[in-house]
């Protein structure tokens, strides 16, 4: 069964430090996509970064980078120089053809940035 695992229910990080949010996935489809979304308390799901299974390089978007380790089926999100506004729930997600291309979300990690 395809699934996404986020093992950190909550994290507390000092402002300006780097943060790594863990995500592992499981799929038998060689073609899949991995996504990270941020959800502040306001509710909006904000797309952060995408990594394709065939991409040779790790994806980066500003302060966000995805540490993609295909053999380990790991897709950790790294936030550099964290800011107070990074406090939010973060969801790792995957989609592949084995589930009709539906997005599967992990349970999320609640990130708290401390001043």
Partner 1 sequence: DTEVTQTPKHLVMGMTNKKSLKCEQHMGHRAMYWYKQKAKKPPELMFVYSYEKLSINESVPSRFSPECPNSSLLNLHLHALQPEDSALYLCASEEVSGGAAKNIQYFGAGTRLSVL
Residues 61, 67, 70, 74: is their CA dihedral positive or negative? negative
The closest alpha carbon to 91, from 53, 47, 55, belongs to 47
Output the six-digit token pair for 50.
């995408």
Q: For partner 1, how many residues bind (rule: CB under 8 A)?
A: 27
Residue 17 or 101: which CB sits closer to partner 1? 101
**Residue closest to 41 by CA, chosen among 90, 8, 77:** 90
Q: Tell me the closest approach of the beta carbon of residue 95 to partner 1, in angstroms.
A: 5
Interaction between residue 31 and partner 1 (CB under 8 A): yes
**35 near partner 1, rule: CB under 8 A:** yes
Q: How far is the CB of 24 from partner 1 (least distance, A)?
A: 15
Of 76, 82, 106, 109, the one binding partner 1 by CB under 8 A? 106
Question: Residue 78 interacts with partner 1 (CB under 8 A)?
Answer: no
Q: How many helices (H) and strands (E) does the chain have?
A: 0, 12
CA dihedral of residues 106, 68, 111, 50 (deg, nearest 10)? -70
* Interface contacts to partner 1, rule CB under 8 A: 29, 31-33, 35, 37, 42-47, 50, 52-53, 91, 95-97, 100-103, 105-108
């Amino acid at each position: 069964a395809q699934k996404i695992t986020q093992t950190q229910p909550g994290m507390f990080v000092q402002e300006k430090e780097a943060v790594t949010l863990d995500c592992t996935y499981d799929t038998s489809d060689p073609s899949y996509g991995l996504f990270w979304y941020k959800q502040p308390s306001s509710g909006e799901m904000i797309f952060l970064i995408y990594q394709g299974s065939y991409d040779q390089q790790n994806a980066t978007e500003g302060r966000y980078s995805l540490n993609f380790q295909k053999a380990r089926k790991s897709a950790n999100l790294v936030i550099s120089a964290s800011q107070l506004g990074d406090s939010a729930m973060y969801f790792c997600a995957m989609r592949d053809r084995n589930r009709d291309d539906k997005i599967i979300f992990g349970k999320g990690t609640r990130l708290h940035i401390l001043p």
